[in-house]
Amino acid sequence: MIDLPSISLIGVVHLPALPGSPNHTCMDAVLERAINDASILVQAGFNALIIENFGDHPFTATDVGPATIAGITRVIDRIAQETRVPLGVNVLRNDANAALGIAAATSASFMRVNVHTGVMATDQGMIEGRADQTLRYRKLLGKRVCILADVHVKHAVPLGQQDLAEAARETAYRGLADGLIVSGPATGAPTDPRDIDTIQQAVPDRRLFVGSGVTHETVAELLGKTGGVIVGTSLKKDGITVNPVDPDRAKAFAEAAGLG
């Protein structure tokens, strides 16, 4: 399993629509965009990448189709040939088993799961965490893929347990997540510093990543407080999530983080 302290700056490779999703056009274009974005991020100084099927909206709540799994696997395999940094995978909206299967078939060493424990109300409906299933499937596959799990994930509202500290403890100690992620309410939205403090105080022995809203102005301060950041939107041309990565923005971000 990857040594989490070895990664602090995780760049997001947002994939255009994959086969089977409403907006898909051409797999070759998906590969070209993904490889280009990944190369720019690595050249800028990012020490890890996470690949996710961001263009596949509207997302399925849990199980994605075979075409999605095949598409992500093909992309990660190609990126692995072009780069030499740790790779992660996030299968949206919440298909942890697909992420584990992709990792087992590729060189991906970590994954993100949006809802690992508890129940969240989302635009895909109610999503239940299946930490039991995820951990058992990882054991079955025999590959120690590192699980980074969101606590009160963005674009969602928790049901039942509203307390952020308790949710963090449940995710870490009952859900056995290897690392935790805290984010703002939506993609690109800043993370509340109070939420960072709350989770760190509740779970001091897990590495915590900030999962949204990090900019080159805030990255140094956030890295001083947490284990790392996961960044996508602020690296894109004009700061628009669906745009390609901007080399100048990526370089300025890495330099601000002390890795450029």
Q: What is the pLDDT of residues 170-219, one digit of tens each?
A: 999 999 999 999 999 888 889 999 999 999 999 999 999 999 999 999 99
CA 39 – CA 22 distance, rounded (Å): 27
Query: 158 in helix, strand or coil?
Result: strand
CB neighbours of residue 124 within 10 Å: 18
Q: Does the pLDDT at position 8 exceed 80?
A: yes
- How much is the pLDDT for 188? 84
CA 201 – CA 197 distance, rounded (Å): 6
CA 75 – CA 6 distance, rounded (Å): 23
- How much is the pLDDT for 105? 96
- How much is the pLDDT for 5? 76
Q: What percent of the chain has pLDDT over 90?
A: 91
Helix axes 96-105, 66-82, angle to 10 degrees: 40
Residue 260 banded pLDDT, cuts 50, 70, 90: low
- How much is the pLDDT for 241? 94
Listed in sequence order, the residues at least 6 apart from 56 whose beta carbon sits closer than 8 Å to its beta carbon are 15, 17, 18, 21, 64, 68, 92
CA 109 – CA 89 distance, rounded (Å): 8
CB neighbours of residue 179 within 10 Å: 22
What are the two backbone dihedrals, phi and then psi, of residue 194, each rounded to the nearest 5 degrees?
A: -65, -35
Residue 161 banded pLDDT, cuts 50, 70, 90: low
Q: Does the pLDDT at position 3 exceed 90?
A: no
pLDDT one-digit tens code per residue, 44-69: 999 999 999 999 999 999 999 999 99
For 4-256, which CATH superfamily applies?
FMN-linked oxidoreductases (3.20.20.390)
Q: Does the pLDDT at position 95 exceed 70?
A: yes
For the entire predicted model, the pTM comes to 0.96
Q: Are 116 and 145 in contact (CB under 8 A)?
A: no
CA 191 – CA 189 distance, rounded (Å): 7
Task: For residue 59, give the amino acid letter.
Answer: F
Q: Are 80 and 42 in contact (CB under 8 A)?
A: no
- How much is the pLDDT for 259? 83
pLDDT one-digit tens code per residue, 111-137: 999 999 999 999 999 999 999 999 999
Q: What percent of the chain has pLDDT over 70?
A: 99
CA 246 – CA 255 distance, rounded (Å): 14
pLDDT one-digit tens code per residue, 139-158: 999 999 999 999 999 899 99
